[in-house]
Amino acid sequence: MTDSIQQAQTVLGIELGSTRIKAVLIDAGHRPIASGEYDWENRMEKGVWTYHLEDVWEGLRTCYGRLAENFRALSGQTLTRPGAIGISAMMHGYLALGEDGALLTPFRTWRNTMTGPAARALTAEFAFNIPERWSIAHLYQSILGGEEHVPAIRYMTTLSGYVHWMLTGRRVLGVGDASGMFPIDSALRDFDAGMIARFDGLIAGRNYPWKLRDILPQVLTAGEEAGTLSPQGARLLDPSGGLCAGIPLCPPEGDAGTGMTATNSVLPLTGNVSAGTSVFAMAVLEKGLSQVYPEIDLVTTPAGDPVAMSHANNCTSDINAWVSLFGEAAALLGVSAEPGRLFSALFREALKGDADCGGLMTYGYLSGEGITGLEEGCPLFFRTPDSRFTLANFMRAQLLSALCALRIGMNILTDREGIRVKVLMGHGGFFKTPGVGQQLMADAMETPVSCLETAGEGGPWGIALLAAYLLRRREGESLGEYLETRVFSHIQGTLLEPSPESVRGFRTFLARYEQGLEAERVAAAAAHAEAQA
């Protein structure tokens, strides 16, 4: 294949996820033709979940290098000039930078839950829910705590915004990612000016040398020009010098926005659910909610339309740990279980379990969980003497427990706001084993779940589609129209309906989950007290 590949028609998308950095190169038909990956993990350092910026750049160089090598093997060409580039990353968190562009404090990721006082105070001040993960909650908590770095802040952004800035020199951010920093006025597709003024009023007596607007990025919507790759940026991605400067970049986005894009869920009353390290479900709204709910985030699509999000911090991390443990057990018997095969076998076994998991209960809380009011996490499994303790029930409990906090949040949208989407589009690692995570999600959400044949491409493909929209959109063509008619019109998927028996079983399991939260609370408090002793 390959002399036929015209690089100017290709588009590069890179996403920095929680456990993996992945790059994908797509062709003129939006099909992936080359990819590269780099595995990484967050670290808990001095009570803070973080990634080192050195790891960011090592990961990006390695990831891009593997994609470029993949492309060379495919086409015989050196990748020098794709038509456009997009950068996305996990949303929220806190990157505070000084005059010289250096970090003033370690990167605080979305996983941190130390900002409760600030989040509650700002929610009351704005009459708008400010989750603990949001950048403004981290900033205000730093202010309340009198942290020394605050006066020196000259720029505050997200991980995608930081990488984009280093590659282009532009301090900009896509509106979807920006909506995880500070509330957005969807009519203007920009930060809410009234709330910015209220925040400045809150801190006026502290005499900082900045106003909030001064240190925030410029907000852009999908399709807007967001700068071009600088010579320095090209070398950051490709130290070999093969990648050329001057390539246009789309606005950097968060993983929620790329998930919406990758599942064609950007139009009103569409919805999607992303399940991986964390899990979140989103419904694009026709109008605002009737009141403020601490369990529901209000964010936006990459085009700036309002979205209600139920977000849970914990999903597959503890499942992964248990599967790894079972792999060790197999190895003791001389059985080498390839991880993908082991995951598939254990996930399929979950479908054989009792609908209510036989009385087993587990909480995969590696970190705190805002929806259930837990500031600290501690993975916990327990059962009663008469529980039906089988492998099938154990695995089913692990998978259903990963969806409980999400469902608690979604109940608010369905029961109190009357919001229902016809289908949830699923993507993420939870859905990798065909028919398992998809069926359990449909049962838990009591909504049909569709997984497209492209669901495994995920966020990197989503940001590549946003870069393609920048490159190829026609005059007046909205993002929703572009996706509907030019990307997804030929893509097939599978749809699974909720099973009535399994729906009843999940309701029973969820009731026990809520009753047992006090045990999780006590376990987490004890574990963290011991760690601090």
Instruction: Summarize pLDDT for 15-45 with one digit per residue, the tens.
Output: 999 889 999 999 999 999 999 999 998 899 9
Closest to 379 in 3D by CA, of 400, 356, 361, 404:
361
Pairing of strands 380-382, 424-427: unpaired
**Backbone angles phi and psi of 286, in degrees to 5:** -85, -25
- Give the per-residue SS3 of 117-144: HHHHHHHHHHCCCCCCCCHHHHHHHHHH
Cα–Cα distance, 227 to 230 (Å, whole number): 9
Q: Which residues contact 346 (CB under 8 A, 6 or more apart)?
A: 323, 326, 391, 395
**Whole-number Cα distances in Å, 440 to 142, 261, 400, 506:** 40, 23, 7, 9
Query: Lowest mean pLDDT: which of 202-211, 237-246, 289-298?
Result: 289-298
N- to C-terminal Cα distance for the chain?
62
Encode burial over 175-206: b for 16+ CB neighbours within 10 A, e otherwise: bbbbbbbbbbbbeebbbbeebbeebeeebeee
The CA radius of gyration of the chain, in Å to the nearest whole number, is 23
Q: Is the predicted pLDDT of residue 269 greater than 90, yes or no? A: no
The residue among 97 and 491 whose pLDDT is bigger is 97
Cα torsion 425, 175, 371, 526: sign? positive
Q: Could you give the maximum distance between any two Cα atoms of the chain, in Å?
A: 67
In the chain, what percentage of residues exceed pLDDT 70?
Answer: 98
Dist CA 113 CA 126 (whole Å): 20
Convert the pLDDT of each residue in 192-238 to its tens digit.
999 999 999 999 999 999 999 999 999 999 999 999 999 999 999 99
- In this prediction, residue 111 carries a pLDDT of 84
Secondary structure letter of residue 415 according to DSSP: I
Q: Are 280 and 335 in contact (CB under 8 A)?
A: no
Query: What is the number of other CB atoms lying within 10 angstroms of the CB of residue 151?
Result: 14
- pLDDT of 3 strictly over 70: no
Q: Are 518 and 305 in contact (CB under 8 A)?
A: no
Give the span between the Cα atoms of 63 and 52, in whole angstroms: 16
Half-sphere exposure of 473 (CA within 13 A, CB side): 22
pLDDT for position 120? 95
Whether residue 337 has pLDDT greater than 70: yes
Which pLDDT belongs to residue 510?
Answer: 98
Asked if 366 contacts 317 with a C-beta cutoff of 8 angstroms, the reply is yes
Helix (H, G, I), strand (E, B) or coil at 213: helix
Residue pointed to by tokens 């492309």: 71
pLDDT of residue 364: 96
* Domains in the chain: boundaries: 317-408+499-532
Closest residue by Cα to residue 471 from 43, 117, 146, 83: 83
**Kind plus residue range of the DSSP H or E element containing 173:** strand 172-174
Closest by CA to 91, choosing from 258, 212, 275, 317, is: 258
Select from 90, 33, 91 the least CA-distant residue to 464.
Answer: 33
Tokens coding 207:
């005499």
pLDDT tens-place string over residues 65-113: 999 999 999 999 999 999 999 999 999 999 999 999 999 999 999 888 8
Confidence of residue 5 (pLDDT cuts 50, 70, 90): confident
State the Cα–Cα distance between residues 464 and 71, nearest whole angstrom. Answer: 16
Instruction: Report pLDDT for 1.
Output: 38
Cα–Cα nearest to 453, from 426, 421, 429:
426
Q: What is the mean pLDDT of residues 279-300?
A: 91
- Helices 391-411 and 339-350 pack at an angle, to 10 degrees, of 80
Whether the per-residue pLDDT at 127 is higher than 90: the answer is yes
The chain-wide mean pLDDT, for the chain, equals: 94
Alpha carbon distance 21, 460 (integer Å): 9
CA distance 108 to 112: 7
Confidence band of 350 (pLDDT split at 50, 70, 90): very high
This prediction's pTM: 0.84
Does 455 have pLDDT greater than 70? no
